[in-house]
């Protein structure tokens, strides 16, 4: 038994040497891990195509940053967040909820005051492709305020109205300090694919309203 004791002691030491210590690096690593929202994937603004989700940083001509986040909901609509990053008086998030999918994000200074407005163009899904225009004006680069854009009414669609024959398929663009809305004109009986009434262009200018900015039809 006395001769076996040293052999037994050696076996214990050898076993201890091969046993690995627990890896404590995970608990001791103080590196900050930032969570990533899977619904916010970087995407460039597009024309003629709907983006279901994306994140875009826009830089105005006066050097201010505006971040726009948009994410599709379960019902096929879109939630949008607008963050004025370095505006002096606010960094509050502005929101549009349950709107149509985003088609384009644009900056322009329609009233030539030196401060760009943000324009968000959404388009409905389906064959109609009706566009909606959302806009936010800069208040001397101190804050952002929504711009009122009048909805298309029944009177607008009447034979005497500016939108008579309108059935969507809009093109939105800027020219000569005006927002242009071009659309095909449908006559009675025209199929959705084949309007026969030509095209119409309506021009809007940015003007100050009583309590906010508004896009007014330019006569």
Looking at residue 6, the DSSP 8-state letter turns out to be: H
187 near 173, Cβ under 8 Å?
A: no
Q: Give the pTM.
A: 0.74
Rg, Å, the chain Cα set: 29
Helix (H) or strand (E) holding 108: strand 102-108
Beta strands in 165-218 (DSSP E): 171-175, 178-184, 199-208, 213-217
Compute the CA torsion angle 156, 109, 51, 92 (nearest 10 deg): -100
Domain boundaries, the chain: 53-217
Note the CATH number of domain 53-217. 2.40.128.460
> Using CA atoms, how far apart are residues 178 and 155, in angstroms rounded to an integer?
23
The pLDDT-based confidence of 92 (bands split at 50, 70, 90) is confident
Q: How far apart (Å, rounded) are the C-alpha atoms in residues 62 and 73?
A: 34
Do residues 86 and 64 touch, judged by C-beta distance below 8 A? yes
* Arithmetic mean of pLDDT, 113-136: 92
pLDDT in tens, 157-216: 999 999 999 999 999 999 999 999 999 999 999 999 999 999 999 999 999 888 789 999
Q: What pLDDT does residue 120 have?
A: 96
Could you give the CA distance from residue 146 to residue 177 in angstroms, rounded to a whole number? 19
Q: Which percentage of the chain shows pLDDT scores above 70?
A: 75
For 144, residues 6+ apart whose C-beta sits below 8 A from its C-beta are 66, 82, 84, 87, 90, 94, 118, 136, 137, 138
């Amino acid at each position: 038994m006395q001769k076996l004791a040293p052999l037994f002691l050696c076996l214990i030491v050898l076993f201890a040497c091969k046993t690995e210590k627990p890896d404590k690096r995970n608990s001791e690593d103080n590196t900050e891990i930032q969570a990533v929202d899977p619904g916010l994937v970087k995407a460039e603004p597009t024309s003629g195509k709907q983006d279901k989700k994306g994140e875009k940083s826009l830089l105005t001509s006066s050097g201010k940053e505006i971040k726009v986040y948009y994410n599709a909901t379960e019902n096929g609509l879109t939630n949008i967040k607008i963050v004025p990053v370095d505006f002096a008086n606010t960094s509050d998030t502005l929101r549009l909820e349950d709107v149509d999918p985003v088609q384009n994000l644009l900056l322009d200074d329609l009233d030539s005051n030196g401060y760009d407005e943000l324009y968000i163009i959404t388009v409905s899904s389906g064959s109609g492709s009706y566009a909606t225009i959302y806009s936010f004006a800069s208040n001397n680069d101190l804050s952002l305020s929504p711009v009122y854009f009048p909805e298309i009414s029944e009177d607008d669609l009447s034979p005497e109205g500016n939108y008579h024959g309108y059935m969507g398929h809009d093109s939105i663009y800027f020219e000569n300090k005006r927002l242009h809305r071009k659309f095909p004109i449908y006559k009675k009986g025209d199929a959705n694919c084949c309007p026969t009434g030509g095209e119409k262009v309506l021009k809007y200018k940015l003007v100050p309203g009583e309590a906010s900015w508004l896009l007014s039809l330019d006569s």
